[in-house]
Amino acid sequence: MSSGSIRKRILTIAALTIAVTLAAAGAALILVFEQHVLKRIAIELEIRSSELAKAFELDTDGNPLINHDLADARYQLPYGGAYWQISEGEVQHLRSRSLWDQILDTSTVKVEDRSKGAFEIDGPNKSELYVLERAVKLDGANGPRTFQLAVALDHADIGELRHAFSLDVAKILFLLALLLIGGAWLQMRFGLRPLHQLRASLTAVREGRTSRLTGTLPEEIKPLVDDLNRLLDRQDELVRKARDRAGLLAHGLKTPLTILSSEVARLERSGQHAHATILREQCEAISAHVERELARARTHGAIQAVSMRTLVLPIVDRLVDLMSRVDSSNSITWSVKIPGSVSAAMETDDFAEVVGNLLDNARKWARSAVTVQVHTIDGGGTVLSVTDDGPGVPGDRRQLILQRGVHFAPDSHHSSGLGLAIVSDTLAEYGRELIIADTETGCTISFEIEPPRRSERKQGDAAVKLRPASHPLGRMDPGKVASAE
């Protein structure tokens, strides 16, 4: 998962939202729990205060006493956590055994706060106590007497309950967080599925399995799909217009070049060979440049964004038949080893342009045989190769023969110097490679007609590459990897 992916962003935001929400919910639950416990303690203190008041009386001498033991046994244990005390003004008359040698000092709390209900004070052994104090009036020998009856419970018990409750809440909220994050992940996975479908559709367009984006997609993505399809339509229209303009340019230049060629012939007949040679060279340069640019304009290539599917065997058979007719001496044996189901991820005219130039190149240099076949490479790609039994290409000339107007042989009548340059330009539009190497029997030209589905080409690599014969091509026989002259 990449750092900038939508999936990671959504999952991170969901996880943070869930964590913050559950943390706030946990804190709120603990606070509410503590408030309810405090209310329960206040009720408990009321009950204990009433119990103490019922057990409190004055003896015949007017001394305070407890007429029976109170129910909570902790009153009898030193620092047991439950306490009571009876005082009159500053005088401490009675207290529970649990206080031992301590007293409940409520003087630190304002009188009005004591009258509101339970309050906190410091207790024995640095403990904190919840205390409820109430005034009780009894008739004495000298008139009514007012006593303060105080009951208290240790705060430690409340803290232990709060801690235990907090741990239980944390466990439950942690499991709930995992469940919610899992739900968010599932929601994100299913929610982003249309984007995966869109990506698969784009891949199908790029690989030529379809010409437009198709499939049932949500309303939120449909406008994007419609815009992309309109962009593809516009690209097709631009390519069609470019091809039409290329044809018009070819017809427009044909007549002037024919006239110039006639002038060259007239100059040669009149003995002006130097002028005729200069003019012929310029005419050939213009013709070569125009031919190459027209070939590039006719190329669909990768920039069209839609890779067409072209059956290989019918095109190759037609071109081989044409080449055999050109070879009037019938000195070359043509062999085609291509299954009928093999297709090329190229536009039909572009594929025919490439294969036609390669076959013509092989025809010019072959001694007796030319073989056209396909090979499967690692990753699922397919390579078409044209092998001839010609003299081959020296390593220092392989890069040169791809340049416009460069002839392998010094006699220009044998080659125009345009075929392989046009092939290179056409393949470059598809991001394909031209592979050149010598074999034991001659020379082979190879290029990918079906790139591997998940091939990873480094950006900046040249679209047309030259490789030695020893370079591995997947499952291809290295001895059959070669190219053009």
Q: Residue 371: CB partners within 8 Å, gap ≥ 6?
A: 335, 336, 337, 385, 386, 387, 388
- Least-confidence region, from 230-234, 252-256, 339-343: 252-256
- Percent of the chain at pLDDT > 90 equals 14
- Least-confidence region, from 267-271, 324-328, 402-406, 428-432: 402-406
Nearest CA-CA partner of 367 in 329, 410, 409: 329
Taking the C-alpha atoms of residue 259 and residue 253, their distance in angstroms, rounded to an integer, is: 10
347: buried, middle or exposed (CB in 10 Å: 19+, 13-18, 0-12)?
Answer: buried
If one counts every other C-beta atom within 10 angstroms of the C-beta of residue 113, the result is 10
Taking the C-alpha atoms of residue 24 and residue 173, their distance in angstroms, rounded to an integer, is: 11
Query: Which residue shows structure tokens 């009928």?
Result: 340
Most confident residue range from 91-100, 104-113, 328-337, 465-474: 91-100
Query: Which residue shows structure tokens 């470059």?
Result: 428
Rounded to an integer, the average pLDDT of 336-355 is: 88
Query: Which residue shows structure tokens 């009036």?
Result: 137
Rounded to an integer, the average pLDDT of 430-455 is: 77
Contact yes or no for 355/384 (Cβ under 8 A): yes
Query: Which pLDDT score, from 0 to 100, does residue 418 have?
Result: 65
Contact yes or no for 392/468 (Cβ under 8 A): no
Residue 284 has pLDDT above 80, yes or no: no
Residue 314 has pLDDT above 90, yes or no: yes
Query: Which pLDDT score, from 0 to 100, does residue 455 have?
Result: 42
Sign of the torsion angle spanned by Cα atoms 245, 251, 252, 258: positive
Which pLDDT band holds residue 208 (cuts at 50, 70, 90)? low
Contact yes or no for 145/61 (Cβ under 8 A): no
More confident residue, 316 or 412: 316
More confident residue, 252 or 412: 252
Query: Which residue shows structure tokens 């409340």?
Result: 158
- The answer to whether domain 307-480 has CATH 3.40.50.720 is no
Residue type, 374: V
Residue type, 196: H
Most confident residue range from 2-11, 205-214, 302-311, 419-428: 419-428
Q: Which fold has domain 6-162?
A: Beta-Lactamase (3.30.450)
Query: Which pLDDT score, from 0 to 100, does residue 335 have?
Result: 92
**Three-class DSSP labels, the chain:** CCCCCHHHHHHHHHHHHHHHHHHHHHHHHHHHHHHHHHHHHHHHHHHHHHHHHHHEEECCCCCEEECCCCCCHHHHCCCCCEEEEEEECCEEEEECHHHCCCCCCCCCCCHHHHCCCCEEEECHHHCEEEEEEEEEEEEECCEEEEEEEEEEEEHHHHHHHHHHHHHHHHHHHHHHHHHHHHHHHHHHHHHCHHHHHHHHHHHHHHCCCCCCCCCCCCCCCHHHHHHHHHHHHHHHHHHHHHHHHHHHHHHHHHHHHHHHHHHHHHHHHCCCHHHHHHHHHHHHHHHHHHHHHHHHHHCCCHHHCCCCCEEHHHHHHHHHHHHHHHCCCCCCEEEEECCCCCEECCCHHHHHHHHHHHHHHHHHHCCCEEEEEEEECCCCCEEEEEEECCCCCCHHHCCHHHCCCCCCCCCHHHCCCCHHHHHHHHHHHCCCCEEEEECCCCEEEEEEEECCCCCCCCCCCCCCCCCCCCCCCCCCCHHHCCCCC
Which pLDDT band holds residue 195 (cuts at 50, 70, 90)? confident
Residue 485 has pLDDT above 50, yes or no: no
pLDDT tens-digit series, residues 138-177: 887 777 888 989 999 888 877 888 889 999 999 999 999 9
Query: Which pLDDT score, from 0 to 100, does residue 293 have?
Result: 66
- Least-confidence region, from 237-251, 270-284, 404-418, 430-444: 404-418
Query: Which pLDDT score, from 0 to 100, does residue 438 have?
Result: 76
What is the token pair recorded at 213?
A: 């984006």
Taking the C-alpha atoms of residue 470 and residue 453, their distance in angstroms, rounded to an integer, is: 24
Nearest CA-CA partner of 450 in 369, 372, 298, 341: 341
Q: Residue 95: CB partners within 8 Å, gap ≥ 6?
A: 83, 84, 85, 86, 103, 104
Query: Which pLDDT score, from 0 to 100, does residue 139 have?
Result: 81
Query: Which pLDDT score, from 0 to 100, does residue 328 have?
Result: 62
Taking the C-alpha atoms of residue 385 and residue 233, their distance in angstroms, rounded to an integer, is: 33
Nearest CA-CA partner of 77 in 120, 132, 125, 37: 125
Query: Which pLDDT score, from 0 to 100, does residue 305 have?
Result: 38
Taking the C-alpha atoms of residue 375 and residue 391, their distance in angstroms, rounded to an integer, is: 23
Report long-range pairs for 406-411 (Cβ below 8 Å, ≥24 apart): 408/485
What is the token pair recorded at 89?
A: 């003004």
What are the C-alpha distances in Å from 335 to residues 77, 252, 374, 425?
Answer: 110, 39, 12, 27
Residue 373 has pLDDT above 90, yes or no: yes
Sign of the torsion angle spanned by Cα atoms 233, 239, 244, 245: positive
Residue 247 has pLDDT above 90, yes or no: no
- Least-confidence region, from 68-72, 91-95, 102-106, 111-115: 111-115
Nearest CA-CA partner of 422 in 303, 292, 300: 292
More confident residue, 180 or 468: 180
Query: Which pLDDT score, from 0 to 100, does residue 400 have?
Result: 53
Query: Which residue shows structure tokens 């943390």?
Result: 23
Query: Which pLDDT score, from 0 to 100, does residue 299 have?
Result: 60
Rounded to an integer, the average pLDDT of 199-215 is: 78
Taking the C-alpha atoms of residue 435 and residue 464, their distance in angstroms, rounded to an integer, is: 8
Most confident residue range from 43-52, 237-246, 372-381: 43-52
Contact yes or no for 449/383 (Cβ under 8 A): yes
Which pLDDT band holds residue 413 (cuts at 50, 70, 90)? very low
Across the chain, mean pLDDT equals 79
